[in-house]
Chain A
């Protein structure tokens, strides 16, 4: 095979996806006026996400906080003031660990669920059935999922921040450093900028959009056949995860270097 042809074919394939994704997004935005239908369903979805994910998110955040504290105390040079560790732990968790780990976890949980649910509904003609009743799949299925996912991620990240910081403090306290709560809080305050919290929330919103919009699109456009659903689910999780890594770098460049 001529490599140029392979590249050409891939480019065309990618472009056609971009076009269809744009059309999907426009259709979604145009259906926002059917709020009577999507608002109650959004609450249902948000509840699902909250109950289904809170425990695993907290567990992950606690371990992330603990490991950050243990590594910080391991690497810590004795001639630096100990309160720096407090700032280091809080900053790592708020800026990076809580949003990214939570988003990657939920890309697996929410992303996979959205793609599998919508893919199954596509291949069993439930989406066609909804349309045949003169109802919009956007307001009944897509908008509730996308909005719930986008808004719930920052909420879960706030919980992850809290647990991560508490676990970080606890492990820094019992580690060889034996940091006192006064030092920890002093350090956390010393290095804290309000913008950090905004940054963390903005980032979480983007991540939330990525892990709900991409899998919704992939599931919604699943091709016929039972293996189509499996393939869509894998594709959704992989592309949502890649989007998160990509957005993470992009937003750091945009929002942190100019701040």
Chain B
């Protein structure tokens, strides 16, 4: 369970989040939509404590994230996979080493075989061939880097996954692979996810509920059906940009 209450965040003069209320139930997948530069990434980083709010509260499983100590925060983070918008791969390490860092320490140091197998397994899940493991991030295309980033985030079998634009910049086939992966992780492992995305179609396909962030607040929050039938002009404008004029209403 993730819950944000009245989260306010400002960078110098720029108010990015201006009272965000947001909640995700266990096992649910939420798509977070919004124009670029509205603070979707900033919101996501509040959930695993990479950014602290100026005001307001952030809870994960009833733990107040900004108040956690170093150890507790590290423990919480190891249960939350985070997919960075541009991959954020460690470029001094091979793909295999990158993914192994995603597996919690004890498992890896005690069982090298499990780790190597897990690397291949995670690469397969994001539709990358096994020989990618030996490559270095600099040798990969942007889309491949992004998928390695996803593989690294899921390697530790986290209970939560936060995806920052996992499909933007991917070709349609691989975008579908990732969308299916999000759904599969929810259905088979009960993973709770927040997917930041530009892709309205993808959002409607994978999400149980959809949220729209606009001008520092959650402008609308509901099921895909709620969104399709919304009379809010801002919502309609945002959806129609992707779908063209909606067939009815």
Say whether A associates with B: yes
Using a CB–CB cutoff of 8 Å, the interface residues on chain A facing chain B are: 30, 121, 124-126, 128-136
Q: Which residues of A contact B48 (CB under 8 A)?
A: 132
Q: Which residues of B contact A129 (CB under 8 A)?
A: 82, 84, 88-90, 149, 152
Are B101 and A126 in contact, CB atoms less than 8 angstroms apart?
Answer: no
Which of B74, B101, B156 has a CB less than 8 Å from the CB of A136? B74
A-B contact pairs, 13 of them (CB 8 A): A30-B70, A121-B90, A125-B84, A125-B86, A130-B90, A131-B77, A132-B48, A133-B102, A133-B156, A134-B74, A134-B77, A135-B101, A136-B74
Q: Which residues of A contact B50 (CB under 8 A)?
A: 128, 131-132
- Whether B25 is near chain A, meaning CB under 8 Å from some CB there, is no
Are A128 and B101 in contact, CB atoms less than 8 angstroms apart?
Answer: no
Are B74 and A132 in contact, CB atoms less than 8 angstroms apart?
Answer: no
Are B91 and A134 in contact, CB atoms less than 8 angstroms apart?
Answer: no
Q: Once the chains are docked, how many angstroms separate the CA of A133 from the CA of B86?
A: 16
Of all chain B residues, which has the CB nearest A120? B91
* Interface-centre pick from A30, A124, A134, A136 (highest chain B CB count, 10 A): A134
- Whether B107 is near chain A, meaning CB under 8 Å from some CB there, is no
- Whether B78 is near chain A, meaning CB under 8 Å from some CB there, is yes
Of all chain B residues, which has the CB nearest A128? B50
Number of interface residues of B (CB under 8 A): 26
- Whether B45 is near chain A, meaning CB under 8 Å from some CB there, is yes
- Whether B126 is near chain A, meaning CB under 8 Å from some CB there, is no
Are B77 and A126 in contact, CB atoms less than 8 angstroms apart?
Answer: no
Q: Once the chains are docked, how many angstroms separate the CA of A132 from the CA of B152?
A: 11
Using a CB–CB cutoff of 8 Å, the interface residues on chain B facing chain A are: 45, 48, 50, 70, 73-78, 80-82, 84-86, 88-91, 101-102, 104, 149, 152, 156
CB-CB under 8 A for A132 and B101, given A124-B88, A125-B88? no
Q: Which residues of A contact B101 (CB under 8 A)?
A: 130, 133, 135
Shortest C-beta distance, B150 to chain A (Å), equals: 12
Q: Once the chains are docked, how many angstroms separate the CA of A231 from the CA of B91?
A: 21
Q: Knowing that A126-B90, A133-B152, A134-B73 are A-B contacts, what are 17 other residue pairs whose CB atoms are under 8 Å apart, sorted by A's residue number?
A: A125-B84, A125-B86, A126-B88, A126-B89, A128-B45, A128-B50, A129-B152, A130-B90, A133-B78, A134-B75, A134-B77, A134-B78, A134-B104, A135-B74, A135-B101, A136-B70, A136-B74
Shortest C-beta distance, B149 to chain A (Å), equals: 8
Shortest C-beta distance, A18 to chain B (Å), equals: 21
Q: Once the chains are docked, how many angstroms separate the CA of A132 from the CA of B81?
A: 7
The 5 closest A-B pairs by CB, nearest first: A134-B78, A132-B82, A134-B77, A125-B88, A129-B88
Q: Which residues of B contact A128 (CB under 8 A)?
A: 45, 50, 84, 88
Of all chain A residues, which has the CB nearest B149? A129
Q: Which residues of B contact A131 (CB under 8 A)?
A: 50, 77
Are B102 and A126 in contact, CB atoms less than 8 angstroms apart?
Answer: no
Shortest C-beta distance, A135 to chain B (Å), equals: 7
Q: Which residues of A contact B70 (CB under 8 A)?
A: 30, 136
Q: Once the chains are docked, how many angstroms separate the CA of A248 from the CA of B152?
A: 46
Q: Once the chains are docked, how many angstroms separate the CA of A125 from the CA of B73?
A: 18
Which of B75, B77, B86, B91 has a CB less than 8 Å from the CB of A132? B77
Q: Once the chains are docked, how many angstroms separate the CA of A122 from the CA of B101?
A: 18
Are A124 and B74 in contact, CB atoms less than 8 angstroms apart?
Answer: no
Of all chain B residues, which has the CB nearest A30? B70
Shortest C-beta distance, A37 to chain B (Å), equals: 8
Q: Once the chains are docked, how many angstroms separate the CA of A131 from the CA of B70?
A: 11
Q: Which residues of A contact B81 (CB under 8 A)?
A: 132
Q: Which residues of B contact A125 (CB under 8 A)?
A: 84-86, 88
Shortest C-beta distance, B90 to chain A (Å), equals: 6
